Amino acid sequence: MAYFDAASSAPLHPVARQALLAALDEGWADPARLHREGRRARLLLDASREAAAEAVGCRADELTFTSSGTRAVHSGIAGALAGRRRVGRHLIVSEVEHSSVLHSAEAHEADGGSVARVPVDRRGRVAVGSYEAVLREDTALACLQSANHEVGTEQPVAEVASVCRAAGVPLLVDAAQSLPWGPVGGDWSLLTASAHKWGGPSGTGLLVVRKGVRFAPRGPVDERESGRAAGFENIPAIVAAAAALRAVRAEAAEEAVRLRELTERIRARVPRLVPDVEVVGDPVRRLPGVVTFSCLYVDGETLLHELDREGFSVSSGSSCTSSTLTPSHVLKAMGVLSEGNVRVSLPSGTPEEEVERFLAVLPGAVAGVREKLGAPAAAAPAAVREDALVVDALGRRCPIPVIELAKVFGDVPVGGTVRVLSDDEAARLDIPAWCEMRGQEYVGEEPAGEGSAYVVRRVS
């Protein structure tokens, strides 16, 4: 089985496994106690903090170990907002942040705070000027991920941090995806990360709060971890996380070159092997091992099952694979095709042969799913029938509305329109994306009874 979902969780690094087993024997005692066992545990904890701080590029006393990356985000945002409550209650986030950041923003709004959500371009990248435009006198905190977890796009963190610093606003960086590849540049104020993203054990995260940043921990606190993460430290997991981070960093430069070549191979060849595909994310400023593409006329969940049967574990942001039946908030913010979405995220050490096998299997898997759904095999011949057609796709989920649109589009003369009736949230994203890919005009959305009418005009 080829595991291509490292952006969700990387396999446990061999160094982490060794460190974890050793620390289970040596680091079980309370590091706050002065007896021999306690001192031994404290030495392990301090050494791990030093190693992690060196990898981040911060002081050891600025780094706190938490019970997860999500907990680090929640604690970091809540503590920074509380520490600057006299300044105001305005929070800035990008529209493509990890759900942990967006959930914190929603909680802040529910508690009476205000939130500005910064848009991204079609490649998933924010504009520095967009952050600068929403900074206010009452802005307490800004948040920006270093790289996106779904499409791999890297963000201009250093430039945004400079703008925020000039305005006196701290910037929190979610570095979960990028930290294994190197420290985050720029004058940021807070940083969070999660060990299972770099081959450490799950249930271990880190929160960095730079000296001089106003921070007030929320909720009950104790004497551990500077009062920022209450409870007994999981020393074996912390030791393993720090060891794994040091190990992947030692391999990062060489492995990044190799994985970039493999993902570039996927980016270049998938559109040639599979018709009607959109490769999404920034083609240059991106993580080494992540490549994401979306296939027209494909049910994402079915495609993932087909690939799983062929021996490939991948992920998807398609609405067809979610319980909410809504597209990924990242793909939605980018305005790209969501149906049939596949994220390939290669772990370190992925053999070239597995990538080649994936490229050999993918076309047949996509074709099989399209055939089951009755998707058009090729563009329909142009034949004048009506100046306007109505496609009733109410009650039918992605990718059926787009498939039905494609089936009849050739029957409309140049200048004619098709109105697609749909009550599926994904249609609001996927029909405009289909027009973008096909070079046709998306006229807009109109109310239509139970759902909406999406109007497309044929221009060629």
Q: For residues 182-210, give the mean pLDDT.
A: 97
Distance CA 155, CA 449 (A): 41
**Cβ within 8 Å of residue 379, ≥6 positions away:** 406, 410
Q: What pLDDT does 460 receive?
A: 87
Q: What percent of the chain has pLDDT over 70?
A: 95
Q: What pLDDT does 222 receive?
A: 73
Decide: 390 and 421 in contact? Cβ < 8 Å. yes
Helix and strand numbers, DSSP H then E, in the chain: 12, 16
Q: For residues 401-415, give the mean pLDDT.
A: 88
Please say whether the dihedral angle defined by the alpha carbons of residues 426, 427, 431 and 436, taken in this order, is positive or negative.
negative
Decide: 96 and 329 in contact? Cβ < 8 Å. yes
Choose the weakest-confidence range: 198-212, 287-301, 435-449.
Answer: 435-449
Tell me the pLDDT band of 320, cut-offs 50, 70 and 90: low
Distance CA 217, CA 224 (A): 12
Catalytic residue list: 320
Distance CA 264, CA 267 (A): 5
pLDDT tens sequence across 272-293: 999 999 999 999 999 999 999 9
Q: What pLDDT does 398 receive?
A: 82
Residue 399: asked if its preceding bond is cis (omega within 30°), the reply is: yes
Q: What pLDDT does 384 receive?
A: 34
Choose the weakest-confidence range: 62-76, 222-236, 422-436.
Answer: 222-236
Choose the weakest-confidence range: 218-232, 249-263, 344-358.
Answer: 218-232
pLDDT, averaged across the chain: 92
Question: Is the pLDDT confidence value at 165 over 70?
Answer: yes
Q: What percent of the chain has pLDDT over 90?
A: 76
Q: What pLDDT does 7 receive?
A: 96
Q: What pLDDT does 410 receive?
A: 86
Please tell me which of 29-43, 161-175, 214-228 the model is most confident about, judged by mean pLDDT: 161-175
- Of residues 327 and 108, more confidence is placed in 108
Please tell me which of 5-14, 230-239, 402-411 the model is most confident about, judged by mean pLDDT: 5-14
Relative to beta strand 277-280, strand 205-209 is unpaired
